Amino acid sequence: MGDLPNSQLHSIFAPQSVAVIGASIRPESVGRAVFSNVLRYGYTGVVYPVNAKARSIMGVRAYPSVLEIPDPVDLAVIIVPSFSVAQVLQECGQKGIKGAIVITAGFKELGGEGIKREAEVLNAARGSGIPLLGPNCLGIINTDPSVSLNASFSRLMPSSGNIALVSQSGAVGVAALEYAQSEKIGLSKFVSVGNKADLNENDFLAYLHEDPLTDVILLYLEDLADPGRFFQLAESSSPRKPILAIKSGRTAAGAKAASSHTGALAGSDAAYDALFAQCGVMRVESLEELFDYALAFATQPLPKGNRTAIVTNAGGLGIMATDAAERYGLAMADFEEKTLARFREVLPPAANIHNPVDVLGDAGEECYAAALDGALADAQVDGAIVISTPQLMTNLAAIAAAVSRVASGHQKPTLVCQMALGEIEETLTILSQGRLPHYHFPEEAVRTLAAMARYARNLSRPLYQVKTFADVDREKVAQVLAGAKKEGRRFVLEPEAHRIFQAYGFPVLPHRWVRAAVDAVQAAEEFGYPVAVKIISPDIVHKFEVGGVKTHLHTAGEVRRAYDQVLADARKLRPQAALAGVLVQKMAAPGTEMILGMTRDPLFGPLLMIGLGGTLVEIFKDVMFSVAPISEEWARTMVQDLKAFPLLSGYRGEPPRDLDIIAECLERLSQLALDFPEIRELDINPLMVHAQGQGAAVVDARIFVG
């Protein structure tokens, strides 16, 4: 909907009066369920059932129309047939209602007539100045005791908490509410956005950013209404309130039609991964993960690093947790000598005082307290995981109380794995009261602490400051692209691609477009050997497939033979192809092959890519994506997040590569993609990167237009 004042959404979340239009006396109806929820869960305002036939519903006087309610109404919850919704909204406008929730289904999700009907509903709402949630939604829940509103048809009312949940799917929302209740996780707000005809996730993200009762925001998304606005809101909110998101629909189907390596690797989901990473949203894969993380983010401080201590009364579980730590990117902390000395004094002689600390199976609360206090006091420790298994000689509740007491005295996150499955209600209550998140298995706790460490690392990265390069020649690029368009070509020829990259300040190798062997030799003599020759054709994209590339040519004779050979091979293998000549290019000095690319996403715009280059890029797929524009800092982050980054930073005696030029090329690529929307896809593969301070070279390049 755009920038909606939070006061208007306040009328949806905290109305002083609610009209349930379509409240019903039929026990199994949605109208009955919604009205019953408003009453049953203690809504503090006034509720009015609206039903054309009933005189009262559940003992409350009913009205045949919202217009006949004698008092002001803030919120309308609408559960009438889809063909009646627009008319009802017009009546709500006449009544002066400030917000509406349309739970009714039967709109654009059905296509055809439903799309038209939804447009009518939106027009009615906007014509009346009413912010509209839905249609086809579950409703909203506000657990604030001063409101206590369940305007939904969920059978549950979650307990109060500091976690808010926004779900695009009503069914997923119901499942999430069930899971939260089963795990005793409280919520501050719940909203099901449904079809997002008017209000969407951005409106609620803005509202929750300002909500004093919400500390963590959870999202279930199937798409984004406005990615740019989402980015701005999330980037602003995430440093103060963690945002965790499930985005469903991971698929690579969109890559099938791609022409470039970048397009083939991007798929339809890479843009979401990139956008979330850039604006500080943590993407998760399941409801279990979502709430595991949310509970920790809502109750514990973020770690300052990834160094972890594990305290356990079971050695085997400590080993499993250690394995999980390595798997999820946590480092096992090396205790300071003074910590080890302290452990020797306070722990049993048979205890393992090194990380993971094994306090032994019969350890009581004193042992646990001493071990945890020592670990958290250690400057080499950023966070701790406490594992306890039930033994006949241990008091789990007492251990929980001791752990809670110790953890509260340190500003480091502490997570608990309580593996007892029997009667441990008292233990879990103690942990909850101590704001200690608890997990059933060590791997869950480790995975969660690792997520907190990643989130904290992302927050510590520099702010976004995008540079604009002044040394670019837009006119030259425009001329090249106009020429390709005039000739009806879907890609520019390679020498044209080099001209474009040169115009934008990329390090381009000496090259020349020639149409005779003698000219090829002359170019090679001027550039200096060795050189490469490549076929040029508007009908041949993949030159290697037709023998169209010859490299490491060291003499004039080799150049002449290569010139003749690439033309002969192309004529033989692609007899219908138009041949425009040959490119002679200076060979690049040895280095590390990288790929830089861009594909234009229809929703997100230019999607940039960096990764290991060469012919195997689509096999190893060690690539990172980002949505343009990007800053120098983010360009460096993209490179550092590659699995192959150790190869670039100096490996086994090899000199570190020129990371400055990689970052600069990514920034220039970002500007090029934004300046020329007619560029659909492009690859630089490889960008040959040399040792630090020695730059790089664009070896091969493709640019697709359309």
201-243: pLDDT as tens digits: 999 999 999 999 999 999 999 999 999 999 999 999 999 999 9
Q: Is the pLDDT of residue 694 over 60?
A: yes
Backbone angles phi, psi at 433, to 5 degrees: -65, -30
What's the rounded mean pLDDT across residues 111-116? 94
pLDDT tens-place string over residues 286-316: 999 999 999 999 999 999 999 999 999 999 9
The b/e string for 414-450 (b: 16+ C-beta within 10 A; e otherwise) is: bbbbbbeeeebeebbebbbebebbbbeebbbbbbbbb
Give pLDDT, residue 361.
Answer: 86
The lowest-confidence range among 3-12, 155-164, 446-455 is 3-12
200 contacts 229 by C-beta, under 8 angstroms: no
Give pLDDT, residue 616.
Answer: 67
pLDDT-derived band at 254 (thresholds 50, 70, 90) equals very low
Find, among 373, 385, 376, 370, the residue nearest to 314 by Cα: 385
Give pLDDT, residue 256.
Answer: 47
Q: Is the pLDDT of residue 265 over 60?
A: no
Give pLDDT, residue 390.
Answer: 86
Give pLDDT, residue 667.
Answer: 98
Find, among 106, 98, 103, the residue nearest to 125 by Cα: 98
- Span between the terminal Cα atoms of the chain, in Å: 31
What's the rounded mean pLDDT across residues 664-676? 98
pLDDT-derived band at 462 (thresholds 50, 70, 90) equals low
Give pLDDT, residue 269.
Answer: 83
Find, among 674, 607, 689, the residue nearest to 644 by Cα: 689
What's the rounded mean pLDDT across residues 269-284? 92
What does the mean pLDDT of the chain come to?
A: 93
What's the rounded mean pLDDT across residues 573-595? 96
pTM comes to 0.91
Looking at the chain, the whole-number percentage of residues with pLDDT higher than 90 is 87
Spell out the domains of the chain, with CATH numbers in brackets: 6-214 (3.40.50.720), 301-459 (3.40.50.261), 510-587 (3.30.1490.20), 592-705 (3.30.470.20)
**How far is residue 499 CA from its own chain's centroid?**
36
**How far is residue 187 CA from its own chain's centroid?**
22
d(CA 193, CA 167): 6
Q: Is the pLDDT of residue 7 over 90?
A: no
What's the rounded mean pLDDT across residues 578-605? 95
pLDDT tens-place string over residues 527-541: 999 999 999 999 999
Judged on CB neighbours under 10 Å (0-12, 13-18, 19+), 614 is middle
Q: Is the pLDDT of residue 456 over 80?
A: yes
**Bigger pLDDT: 420 or 139?**
139
Could you tell me which residues come within 8 angstroms of residue 145 by beta carbon, excluding any fewer than 6 positions away?
160
Q: If you search the block for the tokens 């460490």, which residue do you land on? A: 453
Looking at the chain, the whole-number percentage of residues with pLDDT higher than 70 is 96
The CB-side HSE value for 567 (13 A sphere, CA atoms) comes to 16
